[in-house]
Amino acid sequence: MPDGLKRYYGGDDLHFITFSCYRRRPLLATPRRRDAFLRVLDQVRTRYKFVVVGYVVMPEHVHLLVSEPQVGDPSLVVQVLKQRVARRLRPRPPRPGQGELFAGPAPD
């Protein structure tokens, strides 16, 4: 996060979150991969106790509208979601050039 910017959580706000696949590759283009993403989203939602108000899963990026989590904060939720989806979808062992699934954090 750039210097001087602070995140304020705890106001029971809704959060619009967007993140992209690594190099905007269409890694969520198949129904199987989208379903896997949604299963992980549901697991993370249950664990961190937040409401998914809406979502759009595109082949190369995701939009989420979520409530404030009761456990942790939105940054932690996105971190855990991306890690778990990457573990689920990444081939074992990763082939050369397929180590990353999601791009880094989006600038605020």
C-alpha distances out from residue 83 to 3, 12, 13, 101, Å: 25, 25, 24, 9
- For the chain, which domains are there? 14-89 (3.30.70.1290)
Write out pLDDT tens, residues 19-44. 999 999 999 999 999 999 999 999 99
Looking at the predicted structure, is the pLDDT value of residue 108 above 50? no
